[in-house]
Amino acid sequence: MGKERNFKSISPSAKALMQFKAHTQIPFAKQTVKVLLNEDENTGALNKDFGFWASVVHFENRYYSVNELALEIPATNILELSSGFNYRGLEFTNSKPDIHYIDTDLPDIISYKKQIVSSFEKTHSTGRLDYEALNALDKKQFQAIVDRFNNRPLTIINEGLLVYLSKKEKSKLCRIIRTHLEKQQGYWITADIYLNHNPGRIGSDKGKKWDRFFSKQNVTNQMFESFEEAEEFFFNNGFVLDKEYIPDYSKLSASEKLLQVASPEQLDKLGKSGKVQATWRLKLE
């Protein structure tokens, strides 16, 4: 991304997230962890830590929130930014033959992903799927990727990118995305509407692992102070909120396990903690 910062230190977080997602029904998550980390898909299944399962539920919900907002619109040209080790593109193109999906991230991630996907058994895509290295803040690279699509509307999605960007970098990304949507129309779906919060406030940060990660990556200072501030930020950068995803935790595969390991006090605290993340579908102002 920006030349002023080295983003390679973020890559370990992509691996860590897959350890949570491997305990869900997210397609290809279990296979990815088995190959990437040489761990059996059941590793950690007996974990009784409330914080662990609260994180699993959070990331499962975040993944599917993007899917739902994307699949309810006629998205055929889809560009995913900083996809990490998600295989959403493979999931989408396996079932929708009219989709051209370009999965992007930094070069080291994309290199690993290509190796991992070759080990999967069911990888036949009915649509078109490409894996490409992309620095999302590089206008020329971004343009080269978008040029590979036809002239139908463009859907840009990201899950887990904006929290690593400063306000200046977020604004730069907004300008880049706005330029392409002005030409082709379409939407931007982002699961990165996070409010500044203390990850240990509900007892879900045992050992303060998230706190240390937030501090190391300066994540806390990159979050919004309120959803109103987030909406104003995007409005000032040319976008309006088209739709917000409304979670239905009863549909998540990890919710039952969370209910099994959580105490009544923990569930009560969780219920009263308030929303700290949202997934938005944005369109041009």
For the chain, how many structural domains are there in total?
A: 1
Residue 4's pLDDT band, with cuts at 50, 70 and 90, is: very low
> Does residue 136 form part of some domain?
yes
Other beta carbons within 10 angstroms of residue 140's beta carbon come to 8
Entry pTM: 0.90
Q: Within 13 A of 208's CA, how many CA atoms are on the CB side?
A: 4
Distance, in Å, from the CA atom of 139 to the CA atom of 145, rounded to the nearest integer, reads 10
> Does residue 1 form part of some domain?
no
Q: Which residue has the higher pLDDT, 220 or 56?
A: 56
| Mean pLDDT, range 213-230, rounded to an integer | 80
> Does residue 194 form part of some domain?
yes
> Does residue 218 form part of some domain?
yes
157-160-165 Cα angle (round to 5) = 100
Lowest mean pLDDT among 40-49, 125-134, 162-171, 252-261: 40-49
> Does residue 2 form part of some domain?
no
The predicted-structure confidence for 54-113, as pLDDT tens digits, reads as follows 999 999 999 999 999 999 999 999 999 999 999 999 999 998 899 999 999 999 999 989
- Domain region containing 167: 7-284
Report CA-CA distances (Å) from 34 to 24, 40, 50.
14, 5, 24
CATH number of the domain enclosing 188: 3.40.50.150
Radius of gyration of the chain (CA): 18
